[in-house]
Amino acid sequence: ETSLDPQALADVVSLIVQFRQPAKPFPGNEPRLVEPSGDNGDLRLQASAASIFGPSLVFESNYGNLGFWSNIDDRAQWHVEVPAAGRYDVYLDWAVPDGTANNPYVLQIGDSQLTGQVASTGSWDQYQQARIGNLTLKAGKQIAVFRAAAAPSNCLLDLREICIVPAGQQPPAGFTGE
């Protein structure tokens, strides 16, 4: 522990957790390395590319989302190839009704972490795309994990995609600013 930098320690812990609990398979869900796309190096963390862990989280192929996110142990994980070290804006594509909103979440990529509360979109069928913050990332292969920061009240959200864009670049099509 004392001889490893924070990223190496996080990688060791992630590896141990992976062997303790295998990812759950679902039709239409194919975990894979997320590589930069587009001209500016966007990272598109789609629900269909996530490794899915936990007792209740599922991939809903008919909606293309991660849903039934009702347990503190539920998490989605992506292997990502960050193209360059620097600051990145983070956008979320999600749905959650008023009565379920405001659950806290954590997005961790390597040793960088973003926290917040899930805002209401009005209903489970009404998706919203918006910027939720930014992260400073190192270049190279890393693990991105999205999870509840506390036991969710009802469900955390329905998540279709997390998009990570170099800071100052235009948001991806369909996404908006703050």
- CA–CA separation, 35 vs 137, rounded Å? 14
- In residues, how long is the chain? 178
For 109, other C-beta atoms within 10 Å of its C-beta total: 26
Confidence of residue 38 (pLDDT cuts 50, 70, 90): confident
Q: Is 24 exposed, middle or buried (0-12, 13-18, 19+ CB in 10 A)?
A: middle
Confidence of residue 170 (pLDDT cuts 50, 70, 90): confident
- CA–CA separation, 48 vs 26, rounded Å? 9
Of 10-24, 61-75, 96-110, 113-127, which range is least confident? 10-24
What are the pLDDT digits (tens) for 109-120?
999 999 999 999
pTM for the whole structure: 0.86
Answer whether residue 178 shows pLDDT above 60.
no
